[in-house]
Structure 1
Amino acid sequence: MLVVLRPEAEHELLEAQIWYESKALGLGFEFARAADAAVASALRNPFGHLRIEEEEFRRVLFRKFPYTLIYLPSPDELLVVSFFHQHREPGVWIERFNS
């Protein structure tokens, strides 16, 4: 299955990784590993995670970090919509998908 990151999601991921690395050496790497683990979990069971919002959007919670992977699965592709910080306003990510 192909993993496709929307540009906004890639930006969120890199921005968060840089921020965590600025707080403690190696923490950015730990964040990246948590993101990889969330994506791997989604790949193992793309339609098994909690469905959110409209359509078939799904989510995977990060371990140790207040982030959520939000994705849209299809039979051939896992579209990563957002690496969403859980303290942001819920639903902000859906606006970018609809535009």
Structure 2
Amino acid sequence: MQIRFLQPAQYELDEAIAYYNAQAPNLGQGFLVEVLASLNRVCQYPDAWHPVSDKTRRCQLRRFPYGVIYTKIDDVILVIAIGHLHRKPEYWQTLQARFNK
């Protein structure tokens, strides 16, 4: 299964890594490892995670207050957002609306 990121999701990932690196050495790397582990779980079991709409799901990270918001289109996992679940937890819904048609 392929993984693709919407541009805003890639930006969010980069911003979160930079933020955590500024907090402590290698914490950003730890965040990235956690995101990659979550994406691996999503690829293995794409329908197992919490549905947030008919076609969109959220896989919550274990160590950080973030979730991978994604949709599955054929054999592609499209990451819509790497969302902080406490700050504007549903801001990404405008992005996901285009996939619920």
User: Given the two structures, how large is their TM-score scaled by the length of structure 2?
Assistant: 0.90
The reply to whether residue 87 of structure 1 matches residue 81 of structure 2 is no
Deviating runs (4+, > 4 A) in structure 1? none
State, as a whole percentage, how many aligned pairs show the same letter. Answer: 30
The total of aligned residue pairs comes to 98
For residues 73 and 49 of structure 2, the distance between their equivalents in structure 1, rounded to whole angstroms, comes to: 13
Give the structure 1 partner of residue 6 of structure 2: 6
For residues 20 and 28 of structure 1, the distance between their equivalents in structure 2, rounded to whole angstroms, comes to: 5
| TM-aligned CA deviation for residue 74 of structure 1 | 2.6
Aligned residue for 1:92, secondary structure, equals: coil
| TM-aligned CA deviation for residue 49 of structure 1 | 1.2
Q: Is the 8 A contact 2:83 2:89 kept in 1?
A: no
| TM-aligned CA deviation for residue 56 of structure 1 | 1.3
Which amino acid is 2:59 matched to?
V
Give the structure 2 partner of residue 60 of structure 1: 59
The reply to whether residue 22 of structure 1 matches residue 25 of structure 2 is no
User: Given the two structures, how large is their TM-score scaled by the length of structure 1?
Assistant: 0.92
